């Protein structure tokens, strides 16, 4: 590896530790949830509140933390979120009551900002090189591979430790890893120096938080009682607050989310794809697991797999995500990121739509989930990287954070809709299995939303997300900008004007570049 790439390799190596830890947090606890329920003396259904609380918090904090990352530094926000997650993880290990456990579990949701911050840090470091987009894609692919590997390893290790040592010690393992990741970032990740400055948009932040709280809170309640009048009321209130938020932000000079940014022709399709992708990547794994465990001799459909065999099926799917993420950077270098995004979304759509008629055997279902998983893995790596490439240098945190926020909202909506679809047509007095039509509805929705994303991505300019893309260089192509660039001066481009820099300092040492 050339000397010029060595600093980037070093920071990516450190961030690999962070994302592997994020993967552990996402995969480690799942095999232990029944034990946690017994320990806290709660019903298995109450476990859903853990995910609901974390979903609520993460949807609210990511936009604010992403904006703070652009303002005060992505490394600082990464360290702060690691501290909160570490404290919450230690608390989860020793929490004595359900409500305290739920609160601490929600605070663990600060880890969702790690990926946007990590990609922003990589992008800032990569801007020193002429092949910024390629290096960002490669770095994003590596840390997402680490994330998926951490999820697989976490689930396997938790399953082995669960019956060997006391539960509180088993739950302390993620806390130890988060603490190690915090130390790695403090010691090994230098501040890239990119700052946007400005101030926190307090009114916009409040409106956005209330809107997301109403929408995700309503969807969380829908998972419990269905789409009742109260659920619809909360969602409609949230939508109204979101409309108000957009109107307020359009008039702000320093908004928490720049509406002009997300309407860029290279960025809005990425944000929309993130929301649509959240439907399958966050909403469909539960139905896959329950379908695999349904006994076909009783209801005429399902795979009839025991827990161990189901873990192999889920493992094959997660492993395909890892492979897809690992291949993303290499393939996008040869085919351009836009084409890879379109191909990845097509794989997701094809995999799920083919499940609607072809779900009768383990080999077929496994093969189709691997197809969908390859596309999903590529999208997990591609979406934050392409959002960073499509945004100005001082707004990469907001852009990458939006991919996580919209993905979370897509997953929340899908979880509620899927719960109702699976319950439709079921006689709860004779069976606990979900209906076949419900599963087919789930797969059809996942497939259709993926192909809607393909349609949106087809509108993206062909040079998007590459070093040839003006957005990837933080420049526009106005005659004045090109003239100044040609004589060797730095150019700072805003929506209103082009400003000439007097000294042309290193962009990583200047805020707002």
Contacts of 443 (CB under 8 A, 6+ apart): 284, 352, 353, 355, 356, 359
User: What is d(CA 128, CA 124) in angstroms, rounded to the nearest whole number?
Assistant: 8
User: What is d(CA 259, CA 249) in angstroms, rounded to the nearest whole number?
Assistant: 7
Per-residue pLDDT tens digits for 42-95: 765 566 677 767 877 877 788 788 778 877 888 899 999 999 999 999 999 999
Q: Which region, left, alpha or beta, applies to residue 302 given φ > 0 means left and ψ of -120 to 50 means alpha?
A: left
Confidence at 196, pLDDT banded by 50, 70, 90: low
What is the model's pTM? 0.71
Q: What angle do CA 136, 137, 143 make, to 5 degrees?
A: 90
Share of the chain above pLDDT 90, in %: 19
Residue 499's pLDDT is: 37
Per-residue pLDDT tens digits for 1-37: 444 444 466 778 888 999 999 989 988 887 777 678 7
- CATH number of the domain that residue 84 is part of: 1.20.1250.20
Residue 207's pLDDT is: 86
- Shared domain for 187 and 215, answered yes or no, is no
pLDDT at 493 over 60: no
pLDDT-wise least confident of 40-44, 217-221, 450-454, 502-506: 502-506
Last residue of a domain, one of 211, 231, 255: 255
- Shared domain for 158 and 299, answered yes or no, is no
Strands (E), 15-100: none
Could you list the residue range(s) of the whole structural domain that residue 425 is in? 259-472
- Shared domain for 120 and 167, answered yes or no, is yes
Residue 85's pLDDT is: 95
pLDDT at 167 over 80: yes
Tokens 């993130």 correspond to 274
Confidence at 430, pLDDT banded by 50, 70, 90: low
- Shared domain for 251 and 263, answered yes or no, is no
- Shared domain for 448 and 490, answered yes or no, is no
The domain total for the chain is 4
- Shared domain for 498 and 360, answered yes or no, is no
Per-residue pLDDT tens digits for 96-122: 888 899 899 989 989 988 988 888 888
User: What is d(CA 360, CA 366) in angstroms, rounded to the nearest whole number?
Assistant: 11
- Shared domain for 462 and 483, answered yes or no, is no
386: burial class by Cβ within 10 Å (0-12, 13-18, 19+)?
Answer: buried
Mean pLDDT across 464-473:
55
**Alpha helices of 426-489 — where are they, by DSSP H?**
436-457, 470-473, 479-486
């Amino acid at each position: 590896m050339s000397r010029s790439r060595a600093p980037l390799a070093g920071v990516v190596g450190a961030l690999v530790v962070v994302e592997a830890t994020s993967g552990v947090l996402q995969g480690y606890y799942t095999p232990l949830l029944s034990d946690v329920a017994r320990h806290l003396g709660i019903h298995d259904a109450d476990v859903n509140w853990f995910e609901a609380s974390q979903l609520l918090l993460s949807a609210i904090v990511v936009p604010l933390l992403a904006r703070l990352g652009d303002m005060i530094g992505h490394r600082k926000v990464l360290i702060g979120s690691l501290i909160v997650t570490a404290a919450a993880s230690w608390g989860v290990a020793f929490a004595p009551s359900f409500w305290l456990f739920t609160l601490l579990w929600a605070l663990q949701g600060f880890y969702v900002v790690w990926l946007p911050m990590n990609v922003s840090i990589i992008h800032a470091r990569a801007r020193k090189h002429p092949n910024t987009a390629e290096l960002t894609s490669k770095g994003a692919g590596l840390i997402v591979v680490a994330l998926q590997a951490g999820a697989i390893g976490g689930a396997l290790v938790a399953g082995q430790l669960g019956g060997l040592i006391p539960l509180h010690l088993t739950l302390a393992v993620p806390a130890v890893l988060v603490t190690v990741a915090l130390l790695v970032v403090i010691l090994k990740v230098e501040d890239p120096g990119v700052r946007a400055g400005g101030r926190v948009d307090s009114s916009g932040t409040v409106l956005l938080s209330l809107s997301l709280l109403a929408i995700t809170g309503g969807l969380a309640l829908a998972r419990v009682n269905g789409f009742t009048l109260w659920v619809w009321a909360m969602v409609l209130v949230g939508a109204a607050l979101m409309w108000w938020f957009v109107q307020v932000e359009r008039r702000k000079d320093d908004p928490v989310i720049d509406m002009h940014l997300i309407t860029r022709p290279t960025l809005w399709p990425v944000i929309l794809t993130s929301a649509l992708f959240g439907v399958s990547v966050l909403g469909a794994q539960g139905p896959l697991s329950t379908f695999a465990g349904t006994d076909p001799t009783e209801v005429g459909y399902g795979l009839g797999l025991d827990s161990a065999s189901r873990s192999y099926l889920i493992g094959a799917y997660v492993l395909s995500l890892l492979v897809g993420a690992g291949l993303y950077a290499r393939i996008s270098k040869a085919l351009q990121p836009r084409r890879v995004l379109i191909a990845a979304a097509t794989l997701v759509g094809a995999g799920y739509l083919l499940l609607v008629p072809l779900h009768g055997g383990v080999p077929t279902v496994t093969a189709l989930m691997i197809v969908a998983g390859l596309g999903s893995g590529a999208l997990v790596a591609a979406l934050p990287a392409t959002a960073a490439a499509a945004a100005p240098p001082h707004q990469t945190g907001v852009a990458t954070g939006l991919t996580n926020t919209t993905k979370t909202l897509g997953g929340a909506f899908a979880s509620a809709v899927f719960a109702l679809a699976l319950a439709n047509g079921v006689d709860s007095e004779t069976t606990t299995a979900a209906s076949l039509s419900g599963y087919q509805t789930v797969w059809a929705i996942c497939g259709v939303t993926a192909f809607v994303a393909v349609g949106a991505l087809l509108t993206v300019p062909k040079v998007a997300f590459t070093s040839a893309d003006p957005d990837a260089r933080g420049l526009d192509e106005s005659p004045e900008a090109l003239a100044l660039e040609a004589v060797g001066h730095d150019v700072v481009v805003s929506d209103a004007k082009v400003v000439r820099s007097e000294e042309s300092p290193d962009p990583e040492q200047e805020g707002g570049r």
